[in-house]
Amino acid sequence: MNISLRRGERIFVNGAVLRVDRKVCIELLNDVTFLLENHVMQEEEATTPLRRLYFVIQTMIISPNDCDAAVALCRETLVSLSGAAKDPRIVAGLGAAIRHIADERPFEALKAVRAMFQIEAELAASPQTEQRGAA
C-alpha cells in the first residue's frame, strides 16, 4: 500500500506517531494498522454518541499496546447504542462495527462508524427524531 503525505503531515502507525518534513510517499510492505492525521478526531469533537464511539475505536488503533480499557468501553458502547438505535441504517452500521471489533479489525469498525455520521446528523436535525430513534 502506498501513502502520500504532505510536508508536516502526521501518520499514526502501530501506535507510533510519524511526522514528515517534506512531501513523501510511503510504501507499507506488511500488515500494519495506521491512521492518517485527517482521520484522527480530537476529544472535543466527540460530541455525539457515534462520534464518541469513533473516538474510542480510534484510541484502540492509536495506542494498540495500551487499549484494554478502550476495548472494554468500545464493546459496552456498541451494546448500548445497538440497544437504543431504531433507525435500520444505524442498526446495520453498528452490527458491522461489532463484527469488525470481534474480528480484531478496528480500522474497518472505524470506517463503519464514520459512514454513519451523516445519518446521525440527519436524525438529530429531524423533528421526528424521537419517533424514528436516533443513535
pLDDT of residue 132: 47
Considering the domain architecture, whether residues 29 and 55 belong to the same structural domain is answered as no
pLDDT of residue 128: 65
Considering the domain architecture, whether residues 30 and 49 belong to the same structural domain is answered as no
Domain extent, residue 32, equals: 2-38
Can you tell me the distance from the alpha carbon of 107 to that of 128, in angstroms, rounded to the nearest whole number? 32
Tens of pLDDT, residue by residue over 48-61, are 999 999 999 998 88
Tens of pLDDT, residue by residue over 36-45, are 888 899 999 9
Considering the domain architecture, whether residues 103 and 74 belong to the same structural domain is answered as yes
Closest CA to 53 of 6, 112, 126, 134: 112
For the question of whether the overall pTM of this predicted structure is more than 0.95, the answer is: no
Tens of pLDDT, residue by residue over 72-108, are 889 899 989 988 999 999 999 999 999 999 998 999 9
